[in-house]
Structure 1
Amino acid sequence: MNEDLKEKVIKILLNHKTGILSSVENNKPHARYMEFYNDGLTLYTPTKLDTEKVDEIENNPVVSVLLGYEDKGLNDAYVEISGSSSINKSLDIKNKYWNETFYKWFDGPEDPNYVFLEINPKTIRVLNMQGNPPQELNLHG
């Protein structure tokens, strides 16, 4: 694996928390803005268990995530991540990423409706790197 590229990707993930998650609904893309957290290259995004995105992912785990581009700079590198998603109900993850603002939607970290989508990348493309062509990390596993 290209370690320099992996470091670039992780830096983008750490510096950009809001991105676009696209899942598949009735064989069509369905995109929405989400808040992302990362552990290395694995992404986590909080959601309610009783939402349509959870149903979509249970029906088809293939997802795409765009993270990093901001209108401040046309030179901002960003990542396009293709992978598979699953529902993570682990209390460790729920506690690790709990944020006080989540009280708007959940009773607390132990709320059974508070879960995470765990996104395991298969391919990560880094785009818009100062005029350089896109670079790709392929992950197997």
Structure 2
Amino acid sequence: MSQNQIKEKVLNIIRDHKIGVLSSVENNKPHSRYMTFFNDELTLYTPTSGKTEKIDEIEKNPNVHILIGYDNEGLGDSYLEISGTSKINDSNELKDKLWNESFEKWFEGPKDPNYLILQIKPESIRLMNNNGEPPQELSL
């Protein structure tokens, strides 16, 4: 599979799957939770509260790992393993762009100071379980 084909498949999985698992590091151990992801090409964004543990974890160690894409249709479902670095992005423009009414459970609105966006820049992306092929790495 060519790098262009891998990238196309990766982008399709990211666009089609909004829920994934974000793992950060807490006390030198992985700490995982489900998150909602948005993307701009290969850069991922996920909303979070400034009051959560993950903010402290990422400030101490920005390395994160994401699993996204599994369809629950069988053992051969394609998914991605993404390793990267995360930083807090509190740009009002980005917060407005990503705002969704479903966030009202946690935030008073897009101007809520606790409403933050984690921005994840991938360092490696592996396409897993793609039609029985071995894992494919996207060159970044």
Which structure 2 residues correspond to residues 95-114 of structure 1 after superposition, within 5 A?
Answer: 95-114=96-115
| TM-score when normalising by structure 2 | 0.96
Tell me how far apart the structure 2 counterparts of residues 32 and 104 of structure 1 sit (CA, whole Å).
18
In structure 1, the residue matched to 2:129 is 128
Matched, 1:36 2:37: yes
Query: Unaligned regions of 5+ residues in structure 1, if any?
Result: none
Q: Deviations over 1:9-58 (max 9, x none)?
A: 00000000000000000000000000000110000000001111000000
Tell me how far apart the structure 2 counterparts of residues 69 and 137 of structure 1 sit (CA, whole Å).
18
Tell me how far apart the structure 1 counterparts of residues 118 and 110 of structure 2 sit (CA, whole Å).
15
Which structure 2 residues correspond to residues 1-141 of structure 1 after superposition, within 5 A?
Answer: 2-139=3-140
Cα RMSD for the two superposed structures: 1.1
Query: Unaligned regions of 5+ residues in structure 2, if any?
Result: none
Aligned residues: 139
Percent of aligned pairs with the same amino acid = 60
| TM-score when normalising by structure 1 | 0.95
